[in-house]
Amino acid sequence: LNGIKWQAIKTGQTAIAESIVALTRILEYSYKDTDNMVSMKEEFSFINDYACVQNMRYDSHVRIHYDIDPETEECRILKMLLQPIVENAFMYAFDRERPENIVWIKCVRQEEKLVITVKDNGKGFAFQGMDKLTGIGLNNILQRMRLHFGEACGLEINSVSQAGTSVIVTVPANL
């Protein structure tokens, strides 16, 4: 991958070089440290790399905006917890012709809970309950959270046609 990156740099293909670097970090993040828990800061860095690769892959221009309470950056969450939510935005929420595709990620601490909201300004969909979802991503998130945190976690989905979707993840605020 490093050789491909340098070849891209030599030929002036900086976007390809940046994507290779992001892909390398994604692979390292996926395979390093078998610990299931990472800091929010590490998870957000992973999401940035993931978005870089997906933007290159789909020739899209999805921007990620963060509103992060600084005291939550060192809180620990399940590794790759947010990736399936962001992936859903890339896969289903946005039209390529749309001029501005945005995913907002907000993280706050409310008492002993960490509340993470991932919201997009995409197409939205008719959400009819977790049991009606056909994909595995969101159900997998909920199962992983329940296995690790028990009933002290939650996943809420709100979606409005042509106005976007928000997914709210609630987990214990672990440091």
The pLDDT tens digits for 132-161 are 676 778 888 999 999 999 999 999 999 988
The full DSSP string for the chain is: -HHHHHHHHHTT-HHHHHHHHHHHHHHHHHHS---SEEEHHHHHHHHHHHHHHHHHHHT--EEEEEEE-GGGTT-EEETTSSHHHHHHIIIII--TT-S-EEEEEEEEEETTEEEEEEEE-S-------GGG--SSHHHHHHHHHHHHHTTS-EEEEEEETTTEEEEEEEEE-B-
Q: How many CA atoms lie within 13 A of 117 on its CB side?
A: 16
Q: What is the pLDDT of residue 35?
A: 63
* pLDDT under 70: residue ranges of the chain: 2, 6, 33-35, 131-132, 134, 175
User: How is the beta sheet containing 113-120 ordered, strand by strand?
Assistant: 62-68, 101-110, 113-120, 164-172, 154-160
Report the candidate in 111, 115, 105 with the shortest Cα–Cα distance to residue 155. 115
Q: What is the pLDDT of residue 26?
A: 78
Q: What is the pLDDT of residue 109?
A: 95
Q: What is the pLDDT of residue 175?
A: 66
> Inter-axis angle of helices 14-31 and 40-58, to 10 degrees?
140
Q: State how beta strands 62-68 and 101-110 pair.
A: parallel
Cβ neighbors of 75 (< 8 A, separation 6 or more) are 39, 40, 109, 114, 173, 174, 175
